[in-house]
Amino acid sequence: MSSETSSSTGTGRADRGTNGDRDVATDAGRVVAVDDLTFGYTAAPVIEDVSFDVDRGEYVGIVGPNGSGKSTLLRLVLGLHEPDAGECRLLGHPSRAFAERERVGYVAQDVTENTKRMPITVAEAVLMGRFPHAGFGRVTEADREHAREALRTVGIERLADRKITALSGGQRQRTYIARALAGEADLLVLDEPTVGVDAESMDAFFELLADLNDAGMTVLLVEHDIGAVLEHASRVICLNREVYFDGSPSAFAGSDALERAYGTNLGLGSGTGGDGP
Q: What single string gives the DSSP state of each residue in 26-90?
A: T-TTEEEEEEEEEE-SSSS-SEEEEEEEEETT-EEEEE--TTSSHHHHHHHHTTSS--SEEEEEE
What pLDDT was estimated at residue 272? 43
Q: Are 123 and 152 a contacting pair, CB within 8 Å?
A: no
- CATH (residue range 17-262): 3.40.50.300
Q: φ, ψ for residue 110 (rounded to 5)?
A: -105, 25
* Residues 138-165: tens digit of each pLDDT: 888 889 999 999 999 999 999 999 998 8
Q: Are 91 and 79 a contacting pair, CB within 8 Å?
A: no
Return mean pLDDT, the chain: 83
**Domain locations in the chain?**
17-262
CA distance 45 to 84: 9
* Residues 196-211: tens digit of each pLDDT: 777 777 888 899 999 9
Q: Are 143 and 102 a contacting pair, CB within 8 Å?
A: no
Q: How many CB atoms lie within 10 A of CB 82?
A: 10
